[in-house]
Amino acid sequence: MAKSKNIDPRAGMDVDSFKEDIKQHLRYTLAKDKYSSTEWDSYRSVVLSVMDRLHDRWLDTQQRYYDDNKKRVYYISMEYLIGRLLDNMLVNLGMQDVAAEAMKEVGLDYDKVRNAEWDAGLGNGGLGRLAACFLDSMATLGIPAIGYGIRYDYGIFYQSIENGYQVEKPDLWLRYGNPWDIVRPKIQYNVPFYGNSHAFHDDSGDLRFRWDNTHDVLAVAYDTPIPGYKNDVVNNLRLWKASSSSSIDLKSFNQGQYIDAVRDTQLNENISRVLYPNDKVFLGQELRLKQEFFLVAASVRDILRRFKKTNDDWRNLPNKVAIQCNDTHPNLAIPELMRILVDEEGLNWDLAWDITKKTMAYTNHTLLPEALEKWPVSLLRSLLPRHLQIIYEINRRFLNEISDQIGDDKGKISRLSIVGEGEDPVVHMASLGIVGSHKVNGVAALHSNLIKKHLFKDFYEIYPEKFTNKTNGITPRRWLRQSNRELSDLITGEIGEGWVTDLDQLKKLEKFVDDKKFMKKFAKVKQNNKQRMADYIEEKRGIEVNTKSMFDIQIKRIHEYKRQFMLALYAITQYNRIKAKPDGDYVPRTILVAGKAAPGYTMAKLFIKLMNDIGKKINNDSDVGDKLKFIFLENYSVTLAEKMIPSANLSEQISTAGFEASGTGNMKFALNGALTIGTLDGANVEIKEEVGEENIFIFGNTVDDVEKLRHEGYNPWDYYNSNDELKKALDQIKDGFFNDDEELYQPIIDSLLHKGDYFLVLADYEAYVNKQAEVDKLYKDQDEWNRKALLNTARVGKFSSDRTIKDYADEIWDVEVKK
């Protein structure tokens, strides 16, 4: 009788194999036992066991990509807000329940194990979270892809609230290392800076350039596996860490000058030290520019190394390589690819430029002109002298090419020129991205239209075929299957699990809106999520909230255009109404706000202080009781979002129309059965189209209204003087009602009344408050509210990042999607 083949416990997908692997790693990899191990050791032993199951799939996937020699996608992003990975890895492996049972049998608590993981906060917000969702979708769709980023030692800062103020502390996410990544010490590239660009003639008499006398930094690769959902595909996220290209200066060391010996090493390593907080501008910040070039130089080198393994004709590069620049930050990849093709590979300019344009694509993420990167020519001349020459040449040829279209229109020439004019000229990175790419996309239908109509109007007139829209999406694996397991199980129990990879299948839920048994379960799931959130609030803030109250949530970066202040004004208004008539009929409401302000953004930080002061007043007023709570939760993160979003009844998406490119939080809330109150901005426009205008609360000035208001002359005093509730709320803020320091909030009042209220808070206030009254009225009818909530969940299939990535694959990258 033949012996059964022994299965390596590191590969088995059953409870016994996983349990044995955990024990083996704890003892033999970590040299710990049940007496000496900590929660971090337990977590690491579980991670290592998960990695064992990923490695075979990872290696097999990469070998298959190599053998097939199919076109690959390279997604370059300065940010990846990937959060915690344990749940995500187990969900996509189809092992969450197996792992939980195995942990239980070896005496580990699943929740404690996953809570030992620190969020990988390598991003500021939507941009980085979108990149993480896209990686998940590319793997799930079987697209050969690699994400490139920077392995920051410190991620987005840890936010604590002290006396109501935001205090930034270092995010030490790597304090104990990162068990999810693998260092590849043999994959490293010299990244040059400074030096000189010299012209010379080669043996054929052609003019060539050499960049020499550079100061080099070493980029070392760290790889994290990105598994697709139950398809055995494992893609790669490659993050670069900066290191010195040489060891310490031995001569200085031998002379006892230790600090000098290690100084250069430390300066080089600073490049990957810290993630820049999302501030208004980066103009003139040399370290930021170094980070951007460090990322693209290492990534382009890596891309071309991989291409040259199986290809020897550069004209084939666009058929094998698609490079997507996630916002303007990686657009230096355009001159860097040109430099390598022309200077190092000897291609003529026209051929190199044709190859570069067909290979590169650029995603724009902002409608704020001040947020579009501009780098001083003087800084580029010092730091990247050869690239500046290439950019000037790109610009010269571009302006010559379009000269017939623009004629002598000096205004248009100035607007189109990649290099600005004046005493301190700058390079416009967005313009470079448009000229040097074959496709430029916005991230929501409204955003893409505004790009063509306003932001890049002149470019659109020249290159209409380049501009396209790719509405953002979210991965249903993370934002429903993982973060809202109870709702996920309820849905799967009724319609199967096909929705996890085909979110449009959620439409099947519509037939249950009149099914009382199902709707009761649906309401129970929401209530349970609210209870979990309430427990968290009590634990963290010591505030007891009414779980029957409406959970009204706004979570996003703190910024004037996102208008957290308008929500605060509503809270004050509601508070004043309760104080005036304590026995009135009010719908209890718990308002929850979370988000970080960039450290240098004084107004946003003042908003945080104000919201905490408002909360302190409201939450401690016995007349108010549990009718109203206003709570700011500190240190917003992916993990906190995974708690807050499933608990929400109402989603606040109230930015000034025309300022939010897309938003993805709005999609996450709707998917989890929250109703949206919002302006017609970003993806709210498309959410309204999908869920039906009767299932969303839309208010306020539209993009056209905003333009008209500005054109006709907007006077905020008119709104202040004509609305008593608004006037009282603003006067309370100004007069020290919420803080004894009467001067503290004067900058907020000045920005609204004396500096024009640029984001039209006062113009939209009355419509917002009136719409909130409609929200209250509907919430009183819980059956109808839940019916609309379910329709939101059922109708947001469009907003899966799988759909977004399919659109990129078909219309920009020209790559196959695995069926």
d(CA 156, CA 172) in angstroms, rounded, equals 10
d(CA 480, CA 499) in angstroms, rounded, equals 10
Cα-based torsion angle of the residue sequence 625, 626, 628, 630 in order, rounded to the nearest 10 degrees: 100
CB environment 783-795: b (16+ within 10 A), e (fewer): eebbbbbbbbbbb
d(CA 366, CA 32) in angstroms, rounded, equals 50
Task: Please report the sign of the dihedral spanned by the C-alpha atoms of residue 575, residue 579, residue 583, residue 584.
Answer: negative
d(CA 813, CA 73) in angstroms, rounded, equals 7
Active centre residues (catalytic): 365, 556-557, 562, 664, 668
Q: Note the helical H segments in 561-712.
A: 564-580, 602-619, 638-647, 665-671, 684-691, 703-712
d(CA 475, CA 129) in angstroms, rounded, equals 10
**Residue 722 phi, psi (nearest 5):** -100, 0
Pair 692, 539: CB distance under 8 Å: no
- Six-digit token string for 690: 């999908």
The closest of 19, 23, 25 to 98, measured between CA atoms, is 19
d(CA 160, CA 386) in angstroms, rounded, equals 44
Pair 430, 328: CB distance under 8 Å: yes
What totals of helices (H) and strands (E) does the chain contain, helices first?
34, 23
- Six-digit token string for 555: 């979570």
Task: Identify the helix (H) or strand (E) that includes residue 487.
Answer: helix 485-495
Amino acid occupying residue 784: E
The closest of 14, 303, 365, 371 to 148, measured between CA atoms, is 303
d(CA 350, CA 340) in angstroms, rounded, equals 14
Provide the 10 A C-beta neighbour count for residue 580.
9
- Six-digit token string for 514: 């009149």
3-state SS assignment for residue 3: coil
d(CA 232, CA 739) in angstroms, rounded, equals 57
Cα-based torsion angle of the residue sequence 274, 279, 284, 287 in order, rounded to the nearest 10 degrees: 10
499-to-101, 232, 484, 794 alpha-carbon distances in Å: 25, 19, 14, 10
d(CA 301, CA 256) in angstroms, rounded, equals 38
Pair 355, 361: CB distance under 8 Å: no
Provide the 10 A C-beta neighbour count for residue 444.
25
d(CA 224, CA 226) in angstroms, rounded, equals 7
CA 705 to chain centre: 29
The closest of 493, 802, 518, 530 to 672, measured between CA atoms, is 530
Residues in the chain: 819
Q: What residues pair up with 201 in beta bridges, in sequence order?
A: 207
d(CA 226, CA 726) in angstroms, rounded, equals 50
State the first-to-last Cα distance of the chain, in angstroms, to the nearest integer. 41
